[in-house]
A and B are shown apart, each in its own frame.
Chain A
Amino acid sequence: MSLLKLSHVSAFYGSAQALFDVHLSIDEGQVLAVMGRNGMGKSTTVKVICRMLENRGGKVLFAGQDLANVPTHRAARLGLGLVPEGRRCFPNLTVYENLIASARPGAWNFAAIAKLFPRLEERRDQLSTSLSGGEQQMLAIGRALMTNPRLLILDEATEGLAPVVRQEIWAAISRLKNETNMAILVIDKSLKELGTVADTGVILEKGRTVWSGAFSDLTPQITDQYLGV
């Protein structure tokens, strides 16, 4: 049984329809890449999964449970950990405080996060605003992991980061994939790096799933058609 399954999902911002027919599924321990050009509904799909936006049509099932009418905080407690686009760390809290503020019981604690991102240990008592973009992204990932999720969602995992820092983030995602049984849904524009971690993929176009399958089945023709500029 899939850990997360979206079938025929539609969603609206007010009266404007943003998602028309999105379907995807991800199993425990799997990495799913969600791809698409800007404005095609990737982040909206994430919002629907995390219950920041209600779907009007279709179903969102997580661990067999229908998430209809489930509030955001309860969805998070069910095991959905979100690393939002733009990081959004709490500016008035230190690195340690950012992590502790969202902690829930489980294997992920400060020591485990420090092992994954040693830089966070070094910056432990610094305010999050004094961190570089890459460090803030590590903190945002750490904060989501501190909730001990079953599914980690990374929205624009490496957007705007320097190449060296991006490598660190991808290495961390790879470690998470190899060393844990956590499912990971990752949104990013870099197909090359996605290819190193993703088992499966979906492509969204104008709020619809237009392709899904094993990531290795992604051909240049498909990427040119749906992801090319």
Chain B
Amino acid sequence: MRKETILNACVLLGLLAVPLWALSVDEPFIITLATKAVIFAIAGVGLNFALGLGGLVSLGHAAFFGIGGYTMGILASHAQNYAPLMEWPLVIEGTKSMPVIWLFAVLFSSLAALVIGALSLRTSGVYFIMITLAFGQMLFFFMISWPAYGGEDGLVIYVRNGFPGLNTLDPIQFFGICFAILCIVLFLVSRMARSSFGLALSGARQNEERMQAVGMVPYRLYLIAFTISGAITGLSGALFADLNRFVSPTMFSWQTSGEIMIFIILGGTGRLFGPVVGAAVFILLEHMLGGLSEFWHVYLGAILLGVVLFARGGLIHLVAGREVAHD
């Protein structure tokens, strides 16, 4: 068995073991931290699909994270206030059902990714980075100026949404839901990466002209990848909103996009478990260094510099070495 496969298994087991240990010593805060790491990992896996496989450096993925979050916030707030979302021509009620909210979060974030991607992918390189950043900031300022859903103050949801057969208010059960989703997302992404679509996408990243010469259209490949990537990040946004029972325009901010990218760079760009490792390390550093100083980002910056300068494949590269084939 390859080193990276063993490492990946250890990472998943570690993510599962920490909250179980916290449960045994009655530390619900640790379970919440682990849940946050898992949700951030899902967001990172989403961005990594576009960035690692397709080479699309998007600084606007917070837009999809925020859309997922606000989908949850808006649907749940209407449900808790017993006020329909719209009454004409159809009566559409809010909902407190997690699966329904996830469905809409994925739908809206993928639609947004399709539109943003269709426009942004006409550019490349630094222009692509800037245009995705611009879309993210547009949505950020739009949410700030939308008072119906809290404007700058955000939106508080008083009750956690429900999942059939589970008590989602129990931290370990909510963690279980998020962990299961992470596993499903990892499985699907790994299958897609090995499919002919994933291989063509990877080929287009390496040599667009060559891919065109075998009949592929790189733009379409990138757009599909960007849309899938946005959908996954949107789903993580909905989970994050449920974890905090609060959504605010901060979810759309460029700092959020930057953090999702940091997970990937820390763990290893293009490696399936890179964002999972990156998110876990990020949460760990935030918790440990955040207690020492409110300027803990300075230390994070130093660590990030170290990774970029001395371990360009991220932490997974440090432990498992170069990627020998797709995991």
Q: Which A residues contact B (CB, under 8 angstroms)?
A: 50, 52, 71-74, 76-77, 81-82, 84, 88, 90-94, 97-98, 100-104, 125, 127, 143-144, 146-147
Contacts and interface: CB of A to CB of B under 8 A. Distances in A.
B95 to A, nearest CB: 41
4 shortest interchain CB distances as A-B pairs: A76-B215, A102-B214, A101-B199, A72-B212
Given A90-B203, A92-B202, A102 B216 contact: yes
Interface residues of B, number: 21
Nearest to A91: B206
Contacts of A125: 325
B27 interface: no
B196 interface: yes
Interface of B is mostly: helix
Given A88-B207, A90-B207, A125-B325, A71 B212 contact: yes
Interface in B187-222: 194, 196, 199-200, 202-203, 206-207, 209-217
B326 interface: yes
A101 B196 contact: yes
A90 B210 contact: yes
B16 to A, nearest CB: 30
Given A82-B213, A101-B203, A102-B203, 11 more contacts: A52-B209, A72-B209, A72-B213, A73-B215, A76-B212, A76-B215, A90-B206, A92-B202, A93-B206, A101-B202, A102-B215
Contacts of A82: 213-214
Interface of B: 194, 196, 199-200, 202-203, 206-207, 209-217, 323-326
Contacts, number: 71
A228 B199 CA distance: 44
Nearest to A130: B324
Most buried by A among B210, B216, B324, B326: B210
A51 B147 CA distance: 54
A69 to B, nearest CB: 15
14 contacts: A73-B216, A73-B217, A77-B215, A82-B214, A88-B207, A88-B210, A90-B203, A92-B206, A93-B203, A97-B325, A101-B203, A102-B200, A102-B203, A146-B214
